[in-house]
Amino acid sequence: MLATGIGLLTDARAQRRAVPAFNTYTLESTRAICEAAASTGLPAIVAAGSSSFRGVGREPLAAAAIAAATHAPVAIGVHLDHATDPGEIAACIALGYSSVMIDGSRLPFEDNVAVTRAVVEHAHAHGVWVEGELGGVGGDEDASSDATAGALTDPGRAAEFVARTGVDALAAAVGTVHGFTTAPVHVDVDRLGAIAAAVGVPLVLHGASGLSDAELAAAVLAGVAKVNVNAELRRAYLGALRAGLADGGDDVARLQDRAVAAMRDVAAAKLTALARPGGDTRKEIAR
Sign of CA dihedral 270, 141, 55, 127: positive
Look up 111 and say whether it is catalytic: no
Nearest to 135 by CA among 119, 153, 114, 121: 153
Where residue 285 falls (left for φ over 0; alpha for ψ -120 to 50; beta otherwise) is alpha
The whole-angstrom separation of Cα 74 and Cα 272 is: 14
Sign of CA dihedral 287, 72, 119, 222: positive
Q: How many other β-carbons are positioned within 10 Å of the β-carbon of residue 183?
A: 9
Catalytic residue among 81, 154, 168, 188: 81
Q: What is the 3-state secondary structure (H, E, C) of 115-130?
A: HHHHHHHHHHHCCCEE
Q: What is the 3-state secondary structure (H, E, C) of 223-285?
A: CEEEEEECHHHHHHHHHHHHHHHHCCCCCHHHHHHHHHHHHHHHHHHHHHHHHHHHCCCHHHH
Q: Residues, the chain, total?
A: 287
Decide if 69 contacts 46 (C-beta within 8 A).
yes
Q: Which residues contact 42 (CB under 8 A, 6 or more apart)?
A: 74, 271, 272, 275, 281, 282, 285, 286
The whole-angstrom separation of Cα 113 and Cα 213 is: 33
> Could you give the residue numbers annotated as active site?
81
